[in-house]
Amino acid sequence: MKTLVWDVDDVLNNLMSDWYEHRWRRENSRSTLGYNQISENPPNRVLGISMEAYLESLDAFRRSDGRSLEPDLEVLRWFEKQGHRFRHVALTAVPIEFADISAAWVMRNFGKWIRSFHVIPSRSTDSTQDPYDKTKAEFLVRWGRADLVIDDNNAIIESVREIPLEAILWPRPWNQNKLLTRMNALESITQLP
Tens digit of each residue's pLDDT (9 = 90 or more) over 48-101: 999 999 999 999 999 998 888 999 999 999 999 999 999 999 999 999 999 999
Please count the residues of the chain: 193
Tally of domains in the chain: 2
* pLDDT the model gives residue 30: 87
One DSSP character per residue, 67-84 reads GGPPBPHHHHHHHHHHGG
Asked if pLDDT for residue 127 goes beyond 70, the answer is no
pLDDT of residue 123: 79
- 92/178 same-domain check: yes
Pair 23, 95 in one domain: no
Model confidence pLDDT, tens digit, residues 15-51: 999 999 999 999 998 888 999 999 999 999 999 999 9
Residues 64 and 79 both lie in one domain: no
Asked if 31 and 25 count as a contact pair (C-beta separation under 8 A), the reply is: yes
| Beta-bridge mates of residue 90 | 6, 117
Structural domain boundaries enclosing 79: 3-14+71-190
Give pLDDT, residue 178: 80
* Tens of pLDDT, residues 144-160: 999 999 999 999 999 99
pTM for the full model? 0.94
- Measured N-to-C along each axis, helices 99-110 and 73-82 cross at an angle, to the nearest 10 degrees, of 50
